[in-house]
Every structure is written in C-alpha cells, then in structure tokens.
Structure 1
Amino acid sequence: MSTVLLFGATGFLGRQVGLLLAGDPRVSRLLCPGRADLDLFAAAPADVAALLREARPSVVLNCAGCMSGGQDELLRGNAGATAVLLEAIASEVPRARFVRLGSAAEYGPAEPGRSQHEDDQARPTSPYGISHLAGTLLVERSPVDGASLRIFNLVGPGVSAGSVLGRARDLLRTATGHLDLGPLGAYRDFVDVRDVAAAVVRAAFARGLPERVFNVGSGQAVPVREAVALLAAESGFTGEIRETVPEHARSRAVGWSRADTGRIERVLGWRPAIPLADSVKAMM
C-alpha cells in the first residue's frame, strides 16, 4: 500500500489521474496539495522537503505545469518545479517514485511520415518545448527513481481552449453560418486524457523502470482538419469551416507529429484504448 502525493490534482489531466488513484487498491493515502498549500512555481526545495517529511510518500506525481507565458514563467513552471521536487525527494524520500508530465513539443519538427521515438534528437523550437526538455533532462540525470512522460496532443473531457480542438469546440457553441479557424492542414497525434491518466498511474507503480522517458500518444497522425470535422459533426454544425485566422507560430513550426509508442507498450504494458471519435464526444 502506498501514500501518493499528487500535484495539480484540479487540472485537466491531474483530475483524471486523481480519479483513478482514488479507486486504486494500491493507494492507502492520496494527498493532493493545492497552490494554497504549496505553490510549486515559487517554492524552494526546503518548502517541498518539509511537505515530504510530513507526508512520507512512496510516489510523487507532478501534473502541474505551465502552458503559456514568458520564457521565465515557462522555465519556472516546467523545469524549475521539476528541479525543486527532485532535490527535495532526493533528500527526504530517496526511494520514492517520481513521475512528471513532459510534452511532444520537446522533439520539435519531425519528418513527415515518421514516428518520433524517445531516443530521437530533441530540437524544440519554442520556449514551451525547451522548458519541458529541461525538465526531462533533469529527470534523466537525477539519482531519484523518476520518469518523464512525453504527452502528445491531449483531447477528451475538460480540454482547454488553449488547444486547437478546445478552441474549435468553444467557437462551435455560438457559430451559425460559418466557423473561422487557422490552417488545419497539420497532422497531430491526438490522445485521450483518460488514456494518459492510465499511463501516469502505470508509471507510478511499475517496478524497475529500465528507461526514464516515455511517449504517450495514440501512434496515429490525424489531419487536424479531420478532427475538427468530427467535432463539427458531433455538435450538429452544418455551416462552412473556413481557415482564415493567422496560424500560431508554435503550430506553424511543427506540421507533423506522431508518437512511437513501442517503449511504453513494452515497459509499462500501456496502450491507448479510447478512439478519437469517443474523445470528441466527451468534449461536448
């Protein structure tokens, strides 16, 4: 039986992880500190160490992170929080398993038609991707028993308007004759948040991880245009979808994305189970 410390339990992904852990017989105690209890983005290692000393967790999961903002905010939220947690874990609960959430943005541009593998050279093009790559490298070089999950494009219940499908969903709620979006020709690997939560839990309890970095994706590259069409059909929208909005620089830099999921299947026995059509239904 394990005491699990979960940061970011009220977030999009953390909420799903918490639901799984709450019903997991391996969990004797689930602790979910909020920012009022401990703000990871501003905390010093001593602050985290005090919490760990009191809780004595055998598993520490960080589902908190920074999606947007300046370079300083992104680095503090994604790499800085990882550094603080690793330092505190090493000093207080050195046998604990640590899992952080990374991003496919760590890879940067990919060759169309090719899946991205964990051993590929990482060439992030955005401060967001750089901040997550820094967090992953910290895990790889730490004495702590840790894993970093490189998550591809999240979809499913609760997805934010910060993603292309979340934005399209929100616009569809008030759209009438037409819907204006940015270019939709890119290919993305969409993976359901509930499947990703299951991967986080598997990483939390797997024994003797031979690798520390794992892709979490569907293993399929889907045209964003096709995914938006599924969303429009589910909402009952029959108007015109126009690609007239200027493309975001981060999206323009990466036109193709598909995860090689062989490692996570082999090591953790995880595979995605929820089809994109079901994820889209759960978004509405």
Structure 2
Amino acid sequence: MSTIVLFGATGFLGRQVRELLAGDPRPAQLVCPGRADLDLLSADPGAVAAFLREVAPSVVLNCVGRMSGGHAELFRGNAGVTALLLEAMAVAAPRARFVRLGSAAEYGPVPYGHVQHEEDPARPITAYGISHLAGTLLVERTREIDGLSLRVFNPVGPGISADNVLGRARELMRAGRADLGPLGAMRDFVDVRDVADAVVRAAFVAEPAERVINVGSGRAVAVREAVKLLAEVCGFTGEIRESALASGRAGAAPWSRADVGRAWDVLGWRPSIPLADSIKAMA
C-alpha cells in the first residue's frame, strides 16, 4: 500500500484534498501531519527528512502557503516551504511524487483578453506572485524529484477565507455592510473542490509530461458580477461600495483567464462546478 503525506490538510484547499483522498478507492495510507507534528514554517531539513524517512511516502502534497503578510513571511510560506520539502525529499524520499500549489499571480499582469498559458513569460510584480514563482521554479529545476506545480487561479467555494475577495465580501455582508475595493477586474474563479480533484489526479498520474499546470475554470468573470451574485444568495440588499483600497496581492492584475488545455492533456482534468454553485456552497 502506498503512503500519501498531505501537508496543510486543515486549510481551505488542503481540507478538500483530504476529503477527496479519504474517499478515493485506490489503496493508500493518508498521513496528515499538523503543526504540532511538524511545522514547516520553522522546521529544518533534517527534521523533515527524518519524518519522511519514517513515513516512507510515495506522494508528498504541499497545501501549505501564505496569502498575506510581509515579504519574508510570503517567501517563507510559499518558496521556503517548497525548498524545505524538496531538500528533505532528495535525501529521504527521492522516488516520491511531489505536488505543490502555486498561483496565477506568478504570471503577473497580462493584456486584457489574453488567455494565460503555462509557456507564457512569468513576470509577477507582487511579493505574493514572486514568492510563488520562486517555488514553481524550484520544482521545475530540481530534476532529482518528480515534481508538479499547479498554478491555481482564484479558488472559491466552501471554507473560503476573508483573504479572498468573495470571502471578504461574504463576511462584510453578514455584518450588514459591503465596503469593498475596486471590483472591475476580470477573474478566473475555480471551485476549490475542482482544485482538489486536480491535486489528487496530479498525485496519481503516471509520468507527467509537464511540471507546471494551470488549474482554473477557463472563464473570466467580472468580480463585480460575482459579488452581486453572492449578495443575491446571501439575501444582502444593502449598497455595495467600491471605496476601500485594492488588495496588494491581486490589485495589479486586472485580467485573468487560464488556458486549461494542459491540465486535460496531462491530468485528464477539467473544471466541472459552475461559479453559481461555488457561491451557493460558500454562502
């Protein structure tokens, strides 16, 4: 029986991956270390290697990451954790598959209407995007490890946090107000359950031909329209204001739409959950 190690199993994305793996018919032991067991934000490579040597995984999934914070926090949470796991795997689990969650922010701003393909130049201009690109480059360049980096676009759905624009809007609406930042950007929203499906497929796919794969819906939707739909689902009838400051993570990219052809070619994956269903699940 194979062993799958899932880091970040209690987070927004990791929780869905854990649920999907728990119901997967393929025989596998699932190990989900928490921070009390092994804190990847403070552990050294030797401690991680000792843990992996004891568990002997065939797959290591990294759903640990940071969406906000200073430059050092973002790099430690996104690129640093990836570097730590790759270094430990090289000595303790060199034959295991490694899958990390990256971000569409790695691309940086693109022209309006452009569909972002994995071969496009990556030119992030935010610390968040740069930190994720560094993690993806480590996966691409570390040939000793069989690794994949999934560039996740804008995940939404059950368990969403206020770090996401729709999660923030939901919390404000629950409090009886909706003072948000500018909502004119076009975003590729993908359901977190679809993301989990892509992660599980990446864990089991045999000899993937590519190391970087977009995970999105393939559709660009105005954030303003998504917020209006959320208001309808929540029964919010107040005024939606766009007077707050834009998010430093996403404000620099007014357009985002994924080319998901590679995900189908490599993983046999396509998004299946409509945005309306995602919003209903989160509301």
* TM range, smaller chain: over 0.9
Q: What is the Cα-based RMSD across aligned positions, in Å?
A: 1.0
Q: Is the 2:156–2:282 Cα contact (8 Å) retained in structure 1?
A: yes
Distance 1:247 1:28 in 2: 43
User: Displacement, 1:73?
Assistant: 1.2
Which residue type is aligned with residue 37 of structure 2?
D
User: Displacement, 1:227?
Assistant: 0.2
Q: Is the 1:21–1:27 Cα contact (8 Å) retained in structure 2?
A: no
Q: Kindly, what percent of the aligned residue pairs are identical? A: 71
Which residue type is aligned with residue 255 of structure 1?
P
Q: Deviations over 1:47-71 (max 9, x none)?
A: 1110011000000000011111111
5+ residue gaps, structure 2: none
Equivalent residue, structure 2, for 1:21: 21
Task: Indicate yes or no: 2:157 matched with 1:180.
Answer: no
TM-score normalised by structure 2 residue count: 0.97
Equivalent residue, structure 1, for 2:93: 93
SS in 2 for 1:215: strand
Following TM superposition, the consecutive aligned residue runs of length 4 or more in structure 1 with deviations greater than 3 angstroms are none
Equivalent residue, structure 1, for 2:169: 168
**Correspondence list, 1:1-284, <5 A:** 1-142=1-142, 143-175=144-176, 179-284=178-283
Q: Which moved more, 1:186-195 or 1:37-46?
A: 37-46
Distance 2:178 2:203 in 1: 42
Which residue type is aligned with residue 66 of structure 2?
C
TM-score normalised by structure 1 residue count: 0.97
Q: Deviations over 1:106-141 (max 9, x none)?
A: 010011101111111101111111111000000001
User: Displacement, 1:239?
Assistant: 2.6
Q: Deviations over 1:71-121 (max 9, x none)?
A: 111111111111111111111111110000100110100111011111111
5+ residue gaps, structure 1: none
User: Displacement, 1:193?
Assistant: 0.4
SS in 1 for 2:179: strand
Which residue type is aligned with residue 257 of structure 1?
S
Distance 2:8 2:262 in 1: 26
Which residue type is aligned with residue 128 of structure 2?
Y
Aligned length: 282
Q: Deviations over 1:162-215 (max 9, x none)?
A: 11100110111121xx63211110000000000000000000000011100000
Q: Is the 2:215–2:260 Cα contact (8 Å) retained in structure 1?
A: yes
Change (3 A) 1:155 1:260: same
Q: Deviations over 1:128-164 (max 9, x none)?
A: 1111100000000112000000000010001000111
Q: Is the 1:4–1:27 Cα contact (8 Å) retained in structure 2?
A: no
